[in-house]
Amino acid sequence: MKEIYFIGLLSFLLVGCETTALHHDGKPVQVTWNDTQHMSECEPKGTIVASQGTWYNYWLLNDGDLTEAVLNNLRNKAGQLGANTIHLYAPQTFGTSVTMTANSYLCPKA
């Protein structure tokens, strides 16, 4: 009987290990951090928020994987809005997850 509980618990934890993959829409989206002057030439498409990690699975994933998943999620959302650039705000710090906010833009090609 203990084996069934262990298998159920393990299945529950593994479901939470999923990270966000970069989709077709998000691949061409560029990520910027401090390039506010360049953003003046761009058309705003909206603010986007992404988060990865939960109280029950954060210890199974390293910070790099969580951060990469958040960036993939932001790029996917920006691509769906028709944007080709995101400008990141400073990450919000949480003990169990990574959360980032960005503005998305459609910028002229360089």
Ordered by start, the domain boundaries in the chain are 1-106
Give the 3-state secondary structure percentages of the chain, helix then strand then coil, rounded to 5. 40, 25, 35
Q: What is the CA radius of gyration of the chain?
A: 17
Q: What is the mean pLDDT of each run of 10 residues along the chain (110 residues)?
A: 53 50 76 78 93 74 81 93 90 75 87
How far is the C-alpha of 20 from the C-alpha of 28, rounded, in Å? Answer: 16
- Best CATH choice for the domain 1-106 from the list 2.60.40.10, 3.30.1300.10, 3.30.1660.10, 3.30.70.100: 3.30.1660.10
Note the pLDDT of residue 63: 74
Residue type for 98, please? V
